[in-house]
């Protein structure tokens, strides 16, 4: 994956945080990926208000992988932090369920395939 604006590979500059669609669309196209630098310069170019924790999508990427949560929670109210973490819990749970569902489909598919092979 590369930054669609400057084409850097995120090796030296981290990717931008994952935002809610409404906030993201004010500064980039849905299919754009931005690095942190391009993200910040877009914000400035377009005169957008600073991003807060409320703009950040509660997902493992923002929470664990990049540490954006730790960065943005410094200016967030305890209520917002609590809500964000609750949503993150739900998102993670949905992710887990979705993965379990995928695994189940895969197992079924494998069983069917083996069964068909046995018939031949």
Residues contributing to the site for Zn ion (CB under 5 A): 3, 5-6, 35, 38
User: To the nearest whole angstrom, how small is the minimum distance from the Cβ of residue 16 to Zn ion?
Assistant: 8
Query: Could you say which DSSP state residue 60 is in?
Result: H
Task: Output the smallest distance, CB 35 to Zn ion, in A.
Answer: 3
Determine contact, residues 33/53, Cβ cutoff 8 Å: no
Give least dist CB 6 to Zn ion, A. Answer: 3
Nearest CB to Zn ion, comparing residues 6 and 97: 6
d(CA 21, CA 18): 9
Nearer residue to Zn ion within complex by CB, 7 or 74: 7
Question: Which residue lies nearer to Zn ion by CB, 14 or 92?
Answer: 14
Q: Do 63 and 86 meet the contact criterion of CB atoms below 8 Å apart?
A: no
E strand intervals along the chain:
none
* 3-state SS assignment for residue 6: coil
Q: Which is nearer to Zn ion, 9 or 94 (CB)?
A: 9
Least distance CB 5 / Zn ion (angstroms): 5
Ramachandran area for residue 7 (φ above 0: left; ψ -120 to 50: alpha; else beta):
left
């Amino acid at each position: 994956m590369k930054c669609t604006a400057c084409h850097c590979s995120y090796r030296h500059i981290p990717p931008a945080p994952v935002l809610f669609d409404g906030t993201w669309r004010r500064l980039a196209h849905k299919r754009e990926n931005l690095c942190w630098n391009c993200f910040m310069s877009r914000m400035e170019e377009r005169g957008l208000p600073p991003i807060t924790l409320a703009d950040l999508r509660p997902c493992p990427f923002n929470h664990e992988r990049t540490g954006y949560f730790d960065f943005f929670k410094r200016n967030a109210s305890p209520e917002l932090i609590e809500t964000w973490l609750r949503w993150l819990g739900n998102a993670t749970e949905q992710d887990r369920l979705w993965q379990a569902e995928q695994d189940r489909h895969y197992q079924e598919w494998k069983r069917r395939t083996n069964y068909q092979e046995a018939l031949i």
